[in-house]
Structure 1
Amino acid sequence: MRKIAILFVLIFYFSSVQSQTFVGWSEHLPYRKAKQLVASSDNIFCLTESGLFSYSLVDNEIKPFSKTNTLSDSDVSSIAWSDENETLVLVYANGNVDFLRNNELVNIDDIKNFDGFADKQIRSIHVKDNIAYLGTSFGIVDLNLRKQEVSDTYLIGENGSQIQVNDIITTETSIWAATENGIYNANLNSGNLADFNNWTRITNIPNYTRACAKLSVFDGELYVLRNSIGSSSEIYQYSNENWNLFYTNSELIYSIPTSTNGLYVVLNEEIKEFNSSGNEIAIISSSEINNFRDILLENDRVFIADHENSLLEHTNGEFIQIKPDGPLRSEITSVYSIGKQTWASAGLANEDLPAELYLFSNLEWENFTDSSVEELKDKKSITSIAGNPRNESIIYAGTWGDGIFEFENKELKNYYHSSNSPLDNNGIVSMDSDDEGILWILDANSGRSIKALTSEKEWVSLSYSSIDNRSDLRKIIALQNGDKWVLRGLGSSLFAFNVNRTIANNDDDVKSNFFVRDENNSNISSQIHDITEDQKGSVWLGTSSGVAVYSDPGTIFRDGNFFAYRPVITIDGSTQYLLSTENVQCIEVNGANQKWLGTENSGAFLVTENGDKQLTHFNTLNSPLPSNNIQKISVNPGTGEVFFVTDKGMVSYRGKVTEGTENYNDLYVYPNPVRETYKGDITVSGLMSNSTVKITNVSGNLVREGKSEGGQFIWDGKNFNGSRVHTGVYLIFCSNSDGSKSKVIKLLFIN
C-alpha cells in the first residue's frame, strides 16, 4: 500500500514574518483543493480553489500568493507560464489579469472593466511566443506579453457572435478552440483572427456540436477531451485529418496534460499514461488519495494536483504533500479568540462536514481532526466554539448532534454527549461562558433548550417555553451583570433570562421576550443578525438597518419601556444613523472598546467606542479583503489581530489595538534592540488600558509621549520633530490612568 508522507518545509511568506508581527494583512487559506500546475525553470506553481502558491525546486521554499501580499484580486481561475518572458500569467473569474515577473506585478483590468460583455469569466490561458490567448465566456482575448496589454478580441461564434471558449492550443500553423458548441480552428498565418470568417467549425468529428473541455498536443497530434454529465468521457485524436476515438471512460476526466514521453488521462482515483499508439504504459493510483486533478513532470520529478491533499510529489511509490500552512477549509463558520489564540471551525446545522478544529497561534495553524483526536472520528461538524475566562487554556467545541468536546492545553479533556450529559442529539447552536466560568449552551430542538456546565462540572438544564423545542435559535451571550440574552431566528424578537444566583432552581428565574424598539416604540429592524456585549456592559446589535445599542441592558426586567438607540454618525457633513442602509451581520469589540462591524455588501467598518465616528473602512477596493461579505469577525485580545471571515475565505489585519492588562507584569517592547536596518514601528505591549507612555533618553530628555489604545502603544522611532532618534539606550515609562501603577523598561536603539 502506498503511503502519504508530509513534507515539512519552512514557509517564507512574501511579506516577512517580522512585518506580520506588527501591522499588516495575512491570509488564512487552506490551499488544499489543488486543480492546476505549471512550471518555470525553478518553481512549481500550484493553483487551488482558495489561492496560489509556488514551490521552489531549488531550496523547497513555499511561497503563497494572495491579495494580502502580491496579487491584485482574488478567485484566480487559471495560470500559465511564459518561458520567453519569464512571466507568470494569472487570470481571474471576473476578467481581471495579472502578470507576475521577478516579484513585480502588472495588472491588466481592461476585460474586468469592459461593460460590453455580461459574463467576463476567463476560463483558460495558452501561451505561444509573446502572446497569451485567453479562453473566456465570450470568445478569445489576445494579450501581448511583451507590451503587457490587450491586443485584440476574437468573437468566433456564428456570424461573429459570443461563444464560451473552454480551452485553446496552438500548433505550428493553427490555433484551436474548445468551445461549448464544439471545436473551432484558424490558420495562424491567415491574417486577421478577429474576423470570424477566418475561423472554421470542425464538423467531421462525431457529435461535433458537443461541448469540448480540454485540448492537448502530443507527438505532433491533437487531442480533444469531451465530458458529458450522465454519459461517458471521451478523448479524440486528430491524425492525418481524421478524428479517431482514442480513449473513453464512464467517469469524469479532469485533464489531459502531456510530457515528452506520454499523454496523461487524469481521473479522480487514478492517472493513466498513454503513448502515441494509444497503449497504456503506466498508471498512478492510491487507496488513500482519490481526488487527482492535474499532473506535471519537471526535472524527472512527478508532481500531482489533488483536490483534497494539495500539491503532491510522487516518488518511490509514495506521495509527499507540499502546501502552505493554513486551516483545512475556507468555509469558516465559527471563529473565537482568547489570550493569544484564535480558534476556528467549518460547519453549519445539518451540514455534512467532519468535526474539525483549527488553531492559529504564534503565526502558525494547527489542525485537529480524527487523525490527531480519535474521538472526532465520524462526528458531525463543529458549529460553535467558546472559551473559559477563568482558564484561557480551555476551549469548548460544540457539534451539530454529537455533543461538546472540551480541550485543555490543546489536549482533549472531556467529551460530553447524550449518554453522559443532558445534551440532546439535535445540535449545539451557540455557547458562551460567564465570568464565573459557567458554560451556557443553546441546545436546538430540545425540550430544555438552555444547558449549563458549571466550573465544578455539574450539569443543569433549564426550561423556558419561549425558546424550548425551537430550531431557529441562533446565539446566546452571557452578560457581565448575570443576564443571558438569546437571539432567535432572523426576526426582531429577543429573549433574556436571569437565574437569580440559583442556577439549579428554574422557578425563581426572571425572563423577558422583547422586540428591538426605539424610544418611539417603533421596531428598529425586521432582522437581527448578531448580538454582543462591549467592555462597559452595553449590548450592541447588528441588524438589517444598521446598528442598535442597549446602553443599560440590566433594566430589561424592570417595569416600563425598554428601548434601544441607534448611534448617530456624521460623514462628509451628513448626519445619519450608523450604517442605516447596511446589513450588519456581525459585531466585535477590540481592546479599546471600539467596534468592528461586518456588513453583507460593503466590507468592514471600525467605529469609536460610542459609534459616533468612523475610524477605518476596509473593502475589496482598498484592502486585501477577498469579498465585501463579512460573515464573522474575531479580535485576538493578545495580539490585536482582527480576523475577517468572508464568503471567499478568511484574512486577518494586525492593528494597533490589543486588550489592556490588569498590571504591568508582562510589559515588553519589540523589536529590542532596534537594528539600523529596521524601519518599521516599535511596539510597547502588555500595557494597562489607556496607559501614559513616555520615552526618554538616558539623560532624561523626553523624545515622545502618548496614550495607549487598549494594551498597546506604537512608536515610529521618531522624536517630536519627526526625526529618527539617535543610537542609544531609551527608557520607556508607563503608568496607568490614575498613576497608581507604573513600570520602566529599556530599549536599545541603533541608528
Structure 2
Amino acid sequence: MKLRIRYVFSFLLVIFALSAQSQIKIGEWREHLPYQKAKRLLVGGENLYCLTESGLFSYSLNDNEIAAYSKTKGLSESEISAIGWEESSQSLLVAYASGNLDVISDEGIQNISDIKNFSLIENKSINSMTANGNFVYLGTDFGIVVINLDKMEVADTYFIGAGGEKLVVNDIKINSSAIWAATDQGIFKADLFSGNLADFNNWEQEQGISEYQRKCEHLQFIDGDVIVSRLVSETASELYRYRNGSWSNFSGSLDRIYSIRNINNSLWVIQAGKIRIFNSNGIENEVLEYSGITEMHDALVVDGRTFAADYQKSLQEIIGSRANQIKPDGPLSRNISNIFSAAEQTWAVAGGVTASYDGSAEKAELFLFKNQEWTNYSKENTPSFSNKSDLLRLTNNKRDQSLIYAASWGDGIFVFKDNEYQVNWNFENSPLGTKGISGMDSDSDGNLWILDANSSAPVKILSPVGEWTSLSYSTLANRADMQKIVCLKNGDKWVLNSPGQALFAFNENGTLSNTDDDALASFFVRDENNSSIGSKVYDLIEDEKRNVWLGTSSGVAVYSNPGNIFRTGNFFAYQPIITIDGSTQFLLGTESVNAIALNGADQKWLGTANSGVFLISENGDEQLVHFTNENSPLPSNTIQRISVNPGTGEVFFVTDKGMVSYKGAVTAGTESYNNLYVYPNPVRETYHGDVVVSGLIAESTVKITDISGNLVMEGKSGGGQFIWDGKNFNGSRVHTGVYLIFCSNSDGSKSKVIKLLFIH
C-alpha cells in the first residue's frame, strides 16, 4: 500500500524549548506531564532524546537546554510508542500507538497518517524503527512498514509470518546483506537483495535457537555477530548469538533485559539495577551499578558522557558515583485523582481506588503549580508521605486559603499551610477511621467537613481551632462508596454517592452535638414531572447564583431551588435547553458528564466521558467552546477532572492520558481596583493579539477613549478581565497614542482610570 502525507504543520508554530515554564497567552495551551518513567534514549544531531511513558523531551548536549515535545507544541498525538533518527535529513521520527507518524526536521512537522487510518488492521502500534539510507523501517504490531523519507510516503509493507501472517515486530536491524526482525514469535530474516520482501516466502524464521518461537525483544550487531535478547519470563531474559551461520547461547538466564547496545564494540546489557558489559565472545568484562538508579531501561555513552533512562527518576547523567537528573518541569504522575485551584495556585494529587474500594497503591504525592512551575511533594522532601499512598481529595479552608487539605485512602488527611507541611490527621490522633477519606469541603466559617468511609460516624468536622466532631447518619454509615461533599452557601451539605446511588443532603441546624434536630433527605434526580434525569450522577457543584449543577449519565441537571430540599414540594431539577445547528436539545443529553467547573463569569466547563470538554454560558443555554482531541491539544476525549485557576483564568483538564491546561479569557472578579492593570503595555506595532485589562471587579463597565476623550470601545467584563482586540467600533486598528481606560463597578460606587500606550 502506498501512503502519502496528509498535512504539514508550520515549524514556526512549534516552540519546543522549555528551559522554564512561561506565562501563556489567552487561547494558548500547555501540557503538565510527568517525565519520570524514562524508557528509551536516542542521539540525534546535537541532542539526546528521552522517551518516557508520558511524553518525549530532548537535552542539548552543548548548552544543556531541555525541550519537551507534545500536542501543545504541534505533535499529532500524545501516546508516543517509539522514536528514531535519520542522519542525512537530520530528522526526528516520532511514532504513536495508533500507527501515526510525525517526521520533524528544519522544514517542520510532516505527518504520515495512513497507517493509523488503514481500517483493515486493528492493532497498529509502531514499536521500533531503524534507518537504512533514506528509508526507515518501522516495526509494528502487524509487520514491517517501509517509509521513503525523500518522498515522505510509505514505500512498502511486509507481512512476514508464515503464509503472510501478521506478526508483532519489536525490533529491526539491518546489516550489509540482511534485514533482521525480532518478533513475538522469534527471529525472522530476509536477504536485502532477494527481490520482493513483501513476499512472505522471502522471509525465513531462524530455528537454530531452542524454543525458537519465544518472544524476542531486542537486536544488536557486535563484530559481525547478531545478538538477540529473548524474553524467558516477566522477570528473566537470555541472550543468543548468531555467528558463522549458527546460533549459541550467549549469556544464560539473566534478570529482565530492557535494552542492549553496541557501545565501543562492547555489548551493553541494560537491566533494572545494573549494566553488564560483554565482549564479542560473551565474556563479561564489567558490571556497572549506580546508587539510586534501580529501574534502568536504557543507557548510552555520548562523547564520553554516560546517560541512563530510569523508569522512576527519568533521564540521569552518571558522573562518577553521582547521578544528575535531567527532565522538564511537571508533576510526578499523570494518574491525577483530584485537582483544586485557589489564589493563583493549582494543586493536584495522584491515587485511586479499585472497584472493591481498596487502594491502588499509588505513592502519596502532592503537586503545586505556582508562578508557572511545579513544586512536587513526595517522600523525598515530605517524610510524612513515606509508606503512604493514594491521595484522592483536595480542598482549602474558605476562611484561611493558605490552608490546604489533601485526603488519602487509608492514611488520613495531610495539612499544608503556606505551602509547608503541618500535620497528618489519622486514626492515631483524631476520630478518623482507617479505611479512607472519600470527600472534603470547607464551609464559610472555616470548618472542614469530611466523609469518613466505612465508619459508623461517617461525617467528621474539624474546626478552625482543631476541635473534632463526629456525626452519625444511618444513610451514610459504614459506606465506602461516598464520593463528594459540598457545603452550600445556605448551610446545607450535599453528599454524592457512587453513580446510581441516591444523593444525600443534611443540615445540622447549628447544633453539632445534637443530630436529633438535623434536617435529612435522600433523593434521586427527578424533574418537575417526577421523571428521572440520568441514572447516574458523577459530579455536583454550586454556582454563583446558588444553583446546584449535576453531571449525570444523561447530560446536565440543575436545581434552581436547592433550598427546598427539606420542604414538601417544589424541589426538582431541570435540564437546560440548548440550540445547536438549528436543533433544540437537552444540554449534552446523550453524554455522560464527569466533571463541572466554574470560571470567573459563572460560565460552566463540562467534561464528558467520550466527547471532550464544553464551555457553556452562565445559564447553560449557549455553547461557547467545544474542545476534543481532534481540534485541540487534549490528549484524550475522556475528561475526568476540571479546575479553573480563578486568579489567572487557566483551565486545567485532567484526562485518562494526562493533564493539559488552556488559558481562558475569564478570571474571577476582585473586590476593588487596587490591582488593576493592562497588558501588554505598551502595545507595539508588531503586536496583533488581544489587549487584556485585568484586576477588575466582576461585571465592570470598561470604556476606552483616546487622550481627547473620544470613545473608541466599551463593554462589560464577565469576571475580572476585559478583552480588547485593539480596534475601534468600525473594526479598524486604533491610531498611535495614549489611551485612557475607565473602569467602574455596576453601581458606579468604585472606579479607576489607567493609561495605555498604543503604537499603530
Q: TM-score range by the shorter chain?
A: over 0.9
Distance 1:608 1:522 in 2: 25
Please say which of residues 185-194 and 372-381 is displaced more in the overlay.
Answer: 372-381
Q: Is 1:100–2:104 an aligned residue pair?
A: yes
Q: Is 1:237–2:241 an aligned residue pair?
A: yes
Contact 2:185/2:216, CA 8 A, preserved across alignment = yes
Measured after TM superposition, the shift of residue 361 of structure 1 is 0.8
Residue 38 of structure 1 corresponds to: 42
Distance 2:221 2:262 in 1: 7
Q: Is 1:533–2:542 an aligned residue pair?
A: yes
Contact 1:14/1:70, CA 8 A, preserved across alignment = no
Residue 440 of structure 2 corresponds to: 431
The 5 Å alignment of 1:295-310 reads 295-310=299-314
Contact 1:14/1:65, CA 8 A, preserved across alignment = no
Please say which of residues 361-370 and 715-724 is displaced more in the overlay.
Answer: 715-724
Match of 1:394 among 395, 403, 417: 403
Amino acid at match of 1:654: K
The TM-score, its normalising length taken from structure 2, stands at: 0.95
Contact 1:12/1:61, CA 8 A, preserved across alignment = no
> Tell me, what secondary structure is at the counterpart of 2:216?
coil
Distance 1:728 1:231 in 2: 71
Distance 2:129 2:745 in 1: 60
Q: Is 1:344–2:348 an aligned residue pair?
A: yes
Distance 2:22 2:434 in 1: 46
Distance 2:449 2:565 in 1: 20
Measured after TM superposition, the shift of residue 517 of structure 1 is 0.8
> Tell me, what secondary structure is at the counterpart of 1:107?
strand
The TM-score, its normalising length taken from structure 1, stands at: 0.96
Residue 698 of structure 2 corresponds to: 689
The 5 Å alignment of 1:509-658 reads 509-658=518-667
Amino acid at match of 1:611: G
> Tell me, what secondary structure is at the counterpart of 1:111?
helix
Q: Deviations 1:513-539 (Å, cap 9, x if unpaired)?
A: 111111111221211111111111100
Measured after TM superposition, the shift of residue 312 of structure 1 is 0.6
CA 1:658/1:375 → structure 2, altered by over 3 Å: closer, same or farther? same
Amino acid at match of 1:276: S
> Tell me, what secondary structure is at the counterpart of 1:330?
coil
Please say which of residues 371-380 and 629-638 is displaced more in the overlay.
Answer: 371-380
Measured after TM superposition, the shift of residue 743 of structure 1 is 0.8
Residue 4 of structure 1 corresponds to: none
Residue 269 of structure 2 corresponds to: 265
Q: Deviations 1:64-95 (Å, cap 9, x if unpaired)?
A: 00001120111000000111110001110011
Contact 1:659/1:689, CA 8 A, preserved across alignment = yes
Measured after TM superposition, the shift of residue 228 of structure 1 is 2.2
Q: Is 1:137–2:141 an aligned residue pair?
A: yes
Measured after TM superposition, the shift of residue 464 of structure 1 is 0.7
CA 1:410/1:230 → structure 2, altered by over 3 Å: closer, same or farther? closer
> Tell me, what secondary structure is at the counterpart of 2:163?
helix
Measured after TM superposition, the shift of residue 722 of structure 1 is 3.3
Q: Deviations 1:556-587 (Å, cap 9, x if unpaired)?
A: 01122521111111111111111111111111
Distance 2:366 2:717 in 1: 34
Residue 252 of structure 1 corresponds to: 256
Measured after TM superposition, the shift of residue 243 of structure 1 is 1.0
Distance 1:142 1:160 in 2: 16
Unmatched tracts of structure 1, length 5 or more: 1-10
CA 1:17/1:381 → structure 2, altered by over 3 Å: closer, same or farther? closer
> Tell me, what secondary structure is at the counterpart of 1:582?
coil
Distance 2:128 2:331 in 1: 28
Measured after TM superposition, the shift of residue 414 of structure 1 is 3.0
Please say which of residues 210-219 and 65-74 is displaced more in the overlay.
Answer: 210-219
> Tell me, what secondary structure is at the counterpart of 1:159?
helix
Q: Is 1:279–2:288 an aligned residue pair?
A: no
Match of 2:460 among 437, 448, 451: 451
Amino acid at match of 1:532: I
Q: Is 1:83–2:87 an aligned residue pair?
A: yes
CA 1:529/1:222 → structure 2, altered by over 3 Å: closer, same or farther? same
Contact 2:448/2:462, CA 8 A, preserved across alignment = yes
The 5 Å alignment of 1:154-165 reads 154-165=158-169
Amino acid at match of 1:625: L
Contact 1:492/1:525, CA 8 A, preserved across alignment = no
Q: Deviations 1:466-525 (Å, cap 9, x if unpaired)?
A: 101111111100001100000111124111001112233322211111111111112212
Match of 2:216 among 212, 217, 220: 212
Q: Deviations 1:340-366 (Å, cap 9, x if unpaired)?
A: 000000012312122211000111000
Q: Is 1:25–2:32 an aligned residue pair?
A: no
Q: Deviations 1:99-152 (Å, cap 9, x if unpaired)?
A: 011271001000000111121111111111111101111111010112111111
Unmatched tracts of structure 2, length 5 or more: 1-14, 354-358
Q: Deviations 1:147-198 (Å, cap 9, x if unpaired)?
A: 1111111111111221111111100111111112111111112221111121
> Tell me, what secondary structure is at the counterpart of 1:68?
helix
- Report the count of equivalent residues: 741
Q: Deviations 1:203-241 (Å, cap 9, x if unpaired)?
A: 222222222111111222211110022674111111111
